[in-house]
Structure 1
């Protein structure tokens, strides 16, 4: 019985050390990712879109599941005139996270810039529906107002 006690203590110690090491790794990775994300936001606000793009791409390389970073990267690409890549990023976020109204709004913005009004309206309606379901009535109301303006402009241009 005395022999099993030291073995079980060693196993327990190894498990604890291994668990702490894994926890430390993830804490370090989160800190690095958070710092890079903030750097990307700061560079974007300073209109250093290339620097922001590099920071956001690095965050995605460290954490490939972060859709918020993809949205910001899409915004930065749009600012640089890389419309096709930004559009694809927004579509990718919609595929990965179909209940994310921000992705629909950003895609609609690009579609409006490209004068693809009907597809933009579809995305705006989807965003509005999601915002209503997520109990964000003020944002949904703003989208409704935008859709109404777009409809008014369309009917005036037809007349």
Structure 2
């Protein structure tokens, strides 16, 4: 739906570089907000982590997303989740998550390695899918 400017205060609008954390439900993940075009507001299922100037030169939003989505952090967060039908992670639990912040150059290197690893996994999956199709086609051709 369209956002009416008179109903929303500026502080609720997402800004480029905000980190969104899905605090409710079975999938608790972080995502980096990149859009600069249309005004957007996070739903109440998300916490918005805003990196202010005092820390924005020390940690990249993309790196914070990577840290929160890392299996070690996810294990910690899942272990502290509360609720039965709809589990949630409280702001306090998210604040308890301890993170190490390396130098910006190291953060960039980690992100690049992670991106290359994800690309490799995707390519391996594509190769596996194509190989499966090839084998199935060869089997069909053999019985014709």
- Shorter-chain TM-score bucket reads under 0.3
Higher helix share: 1
Higher strand share: 2
TM-score of the superposed pair, with normalisation by structure 1:
0.21
TM-score of the superposed pair, with normalisation by structure 2:
0.23
Structure with bigger gyration radius: 1
